[in-house]
Amino acid sequence: MSTSVAHQVMWNRLISVVEEQAQALVRTAFSTSVREAGDLSAGVYDAAGQMLAQAVTGTPGHVNAMADAVGHFIRRIGRQNIFEGDVYITNDPWEGTGHLHDITVVTPTFHNDVLVGFFACTAHVVDIGGRGFGADAASVYEEGLYLPIMKFAERGTVDKTLIQIVRGNVREPDQLVGDIYALATCNEIGQRRLLEMMKEFALTDLEGIGGFILENSRRATLERINALPRQSATGEMQIDGYSTPIELKVRLDIQEDSILCDFEGTSGLDKKGINVPLVYTKAYACYALKCAIAPEIPNNAASLAPFKVVAPKDSIVNAVHPAPVALRHVIGHMIPDTVYGALDKILPETVPAEGAGCLCNFQVSLRPRTDAPAPNDARRAEVLTFNSGGAGARPTLDGLNATAFPSGVMTMPIEATEHVGPVIIWRKELRPDSGGAGKYRGGLGQHMEVGAREGHEFDFQAMFDRVDHPARGRQGGANGAPTTIAQDDGTAMQGKGKQFVPHGRRVVLALPGGAGYGDAAERAPDDVRRDLARGYITEEAAMNLYGLSEDDVADIRGLITNGETIP
């Protein structure tokens, strides 16, 4: 076998190793956000801390931020203090993945007593203490327990004092400690598989395969960049923010061997926890560009390096300590669509229309009712659920319904959500007419209705956007539908913040739709008929937005009534 072929085989093998690492975390994690939504990342690094391969399972915000994190671990721990059997941990927002609710665990790997690399993984945890998962804090100190880069275990011995401190500061101690052990275990599994591979291929270190991976990825990425026109363009977006709208602005410069994203002009820090550390801004700006320009090239240190991201200090996309950052994803998930607004001017018919952007998350803090005696089985619980609006339509395809872009996490099943606490999801279904009209229709959002079991009241921590600023269409496509939120008796609720819901009341949500692409008059009539038959659009929309005739609408109605197959 030639050296290049052997290296390619080993490269593929490394990707399978980190995917097994990620799946081990999914199987062993305690938090539903990891088990059901896949809010995690996993990767393998060389001895210098450069990411060589990442798991397919996971989110770009985690893995692209984690690409920089291992270097911080090496620097903070010190190479002279790195021993076989060590496990390191942090949730530092600026040296990890952007907020305290993400725990990153790094494990050094030794082969024949020599340090050859590292495994790292990250998981979102349901609770880290403080004010809970939400934007209400005024500084990072209020947002929860901070774990600096430190040793979770040294030479195989776990720091029990650290475990006691963690257990004493969070609402779900068993769940959180279980997640930490799951993170450490998945790294161990990755390490075991790597050592098996090294033995099989008679490797003494990862320098050869690492050099092959990084050089090929660098060369392929630069080829893609240098084939682009040397142009500059700007993009901007206004979104809800917490109490005042936020302006996101970017200038995109395609240069020789690099692309620069400059967020000069973006809004300054917010008083509430929607600020974004630069590491997370970089993660999603790089992800957006790689998706559009070099999607087939594996994600690693070399393929990320040509994408340069800068932002003014103390802007909302370059928040520094001690800014509150708990909901950094609400702004961070809007960065790709902002970048695409600029890229569309340079590479038309390449990028999608705007989508829902940020995840439509909410956390329910349940407790026994206080307005009357509660039943004996009433209890406290923290339930976090991830949900998605619609993705934007693409230049040649409809947007995906209820699909998280850019985060990539999965929507959590109702059964899994209801299993972890006394919450009831009364309704969860696609939202007709929420996808923006166009030659290609935007993806649909969802209707949801959320309550609690008898004897409970709860605080509802909203983490929504697109209430006042829906996704915008591209190339003549219509906007997606906005987010709406209220109690079932009509009581108004805000898109962000912790809000009390009394016993017996429910929260009624309409999650946003993605925007359309192209003129709706150009949509194929068969696609309109199919959308109507599937319930994606109403009869009124079929006629008024797409020009479907009354006779066609009546024919579809008849087929549905008779249970016949729709052509």
pLDDT in tens, 411-434: 888 999 999 999 999 999 999 999
Local structure of residue 268 (DSSP, 8 states): B
Contact criterion met (CB below 8 Å) for 369 and 455: yes
Q: Is 1 a residue whose pLDDT tops 60?
A: no
Give the list of residues 6+ apart from residue 251 with CB closer than 8 angstroms, or none.
Answer: 232, 233, 234, 260, 261, 262, 264, 342
With contact defined as beta carbons under 8 Å apart, do 358 and 275 qualify? no
pLDDT of residue 11: 93
Q: What are the tokens at 352? A: 């999608």
Question: What mean pLDDT comes out for the span 18-44?
Answer: 94
Q: Is the per-residue pLDDT at 564 higher than 80?
A: no
Closest to 342 measured CA to CA, from 376, 292, 384, 394 = 292
Residue 565 binned pLDDT confidence (cut-offs 50, 70, 90): low
The three-state secondary structure class of 562 is coil
Exposure string over 460-478, b if 16+ CB within 10 A, otherwise e: bbbbbbbbebbbbbbbebb
Place of tokens 């059901």: 36
CA dihedral angle for residue 129, residue 133, residue 135, residue 138, rounded to 10 degrees: 10
Q: In angstroms, rounded to a whole number, what is the distance separating the alpha carbons of residues 237 and 549?
A: 36
pLDDT at 457 (0 to 100): 98
Percentages (nearest 5) of helix, strand, coil residues in the chain: 30, 20, 45
Cα 421 from chain centroid? 24
Q: Which of 416, 441, 415 is nearest to 531 (CA)?
A: 441
Please state the rounded mean pLDDT for residues 180-193: 97
- Tell me, what's the pLDDT at 558? 86
- Across the range 23-43, mean pLDDT stands at 93
Reported as type and span, the H/E element at residue 307 is: strand 307-310
Give the mean pLDDT of the chain: 96
Mean pLDDT of the region 180-204: 97
Which residue stretches of 107-241 are H helix?
160-167, 173-200, 207-226
Sequence-ordered list of residues with C-beta below 8 angstroms from that of 228, at least 6 positions apart, any chain:
254, 293, 346, 347
Which pLDDT value is given to residue 411?
Answer: 84
Percent of the chain with pLDDT over 90: 93
Whole-model pTM: value is 0.95
Q: What confidence category does residue 483 fall into, taking pLDDT thresholds of 50, 70 and 90? A: very high
pLDDT for 339 beyond 60: yes
Task: Specify the pLDDT at position 566.
Answer: 65
Query: Measuring CA to CA, how many Å separate 17 from each of 43, 165, 192, 202, 565?
Result: 9, 33, 9, 17, 45
Element containing residue 550 per DSSP (H, E): helix 550-561
Main-chain phi, psi angles of 150, to 5 degrees: -155, 175
Q: What is the pLDDT of residue 282?
A: 97
Residues 6+ apart with CB under 8 A from 179: 29, 30, 31, 34, 103, 123, 125
Q: What is the mean pLDDT of residues 133-152?
A: 96
pLDDT above 70 (res 2):
no
d(C-alpha 21, C-alpha 34), whole Å: 13
Tell me what percent of the residues of the chain surpass a pLDDT of 70. 99
Helix spans in 47-172 (H) = 60-77, 160-167
pLDDT reading at 567 higher than 80: no
480 torsion bin: left (phi>0), alpha (psi -120 to 50), beta (else): beta
The pLDDT of residue 4 is 81
- Going by C-alpha positions, the residue among 432, 458, 451, 452 that lies closest to residue 511 is 432
